[in-house]
Amino acid sequence: MHTSVLLHEAIDAVFTDPDGIYADGTYGRGGHARALLARLSAKGRLVAFDKDPQAVQSATAGPDGIHDARFAIEHASFTQMRERLAARGISRLTGVLLDLGVSSPQLDDASRGFSFRFDAPLDMRMDTTRGETAADFLARADERQLAEVIRDHGEERFAVSIAKALVARREGGRPVRTTRELAEIVARAVKTREPGQDPATRTFQALRIFINAELEDLQQGLTVAMQLLVPHGRLAVISFHSLEDRIVKRFIARESTREPDRRAPFAEPLPTRLKALARIKPSAAEIAANPRARSAVLRVAERTEVQA
């Protein structure tokens, strides 16, 4: 069962107008979407986005789906919000919510290959209709690229050792194809373990982020979201690890700071486009009830009067 993290805090942060038009850039299993719809008037609208076709299908299917004329969902990345919304006649948004990372249903479905808790094909794609699987990447990448991905996307100290072990196995005629094979190789290559954390955690995170271009999508999606917001519209982003949070923090800081145009040193500073509002962490009670929440950070910003 998926439990939405920082549910009430996120909705309180992004909601400003019951008649507004909102975007949920990462629908997942709809916890935030349902809570936001409950706040909207009959005039309000919510358009959700998700790269995962299973999430999109579940959104409106069966008795548990959302059957509401104010709601629509797109099988697309939140980086595509502008063009998908334009096709619906929408050019501005009252609020944008992004709940980053992987959802519990994705982790709990062994066939998706996101978790080392199960032995399954090493897929890891959010969008199973396109792109390269993690197994395919491991079958072609050289040692240097493997080490860079595991180090930069997983913050793994033993990235080089893991990369060497993966290449050695592949050259021995047994390329890694399953989650268990990958977890076993990493366990042998990682010399020390963090208390309470499986040694494969950081490598699995790194491959998932890389395969789905999550950091690149986040950087692009933040800019798109900001440009779509009306004045005083809200951007709320929930991240689950330092790489994501650092991007969000720096983006909000950059867009909230008046900086001069270096090409014209005597000109007036460029106007800010965002105002940072809050940084919110889950309560102790929420973490106790849902351990997945322990690393979550919600950052909130408001669009200034200046338009893109």
- pLDDT one-digit tens code per residue, 185-234: 999 999 887 787 889 999 999 999 999 999 999 999 999 999 999 999 99
Q: Which residue has the higher pLDDT, 142 or 196?
A: 142
Two tokens, residue 202: 């950081």
Quick one: residue 45, left, alpha or beta (phi over 0 = left, psi -120 to 50 = alpha)?
beta
* Other CB atoms within 10 A of residue 279 CB: 13
Two tokens, residue 270: 């460029």
pTM of the model: 0.92
pLDDT at residue 258, as a whole number: 72
Q: Residues 176, 122: contact at Cβ < 8 Å?
A: yes
The model's pLDDT over 277-307, given as tens digits with 9 standing for 90+, comes to 999 999 999 999 998 899 999 999 999 986 5
Please list, in sequence order, all residues whose beta carbon lies within 8 angstroms of the beta carbon of residue 105, skipping any fewer than 6 positions away.
2, 28, 29, 54, 55
Q: Residues 257, 272: contact at Cβ < 8 Å?
A: yes
Name the segment(s) of the chain with CATH classification 1.10.150.170. Answer: 128-211
Q: Which residue has the higher pLDDT, 194 or 89?
A: 89
Angle between helices 159-171 and 179-189 (to 10 degrees): 130
pLDDT at residue 101, as a whole number: 79
Q: Which CATH number among 1.10.150.170, 3.40.50.620, 3.60.21.10, 1.10.10.1200 corresponds to the domain 128-211?
A: 1.10.150.170
Name the segment(s) of the chain with CATH classification 3.40.50.150. Answer: 7-105+214-303
pLDDT at residue 264, as a whole number: 64
**Whether pLDDT at 133 is above 60:** yes
- State the CATH architecture for 7-105+214-303: 3-Layer(aba) Sandwich (3.40)
Q: Is the dihedral of CA 209, 212, 215, 216 positive or negative?
A: positive
pLDDT at residue 267, as a whole number: 62
What is the distance, to the nearest Å, from the Cα of residue 165 to the centroid of all Cα atoms in its chain? 29
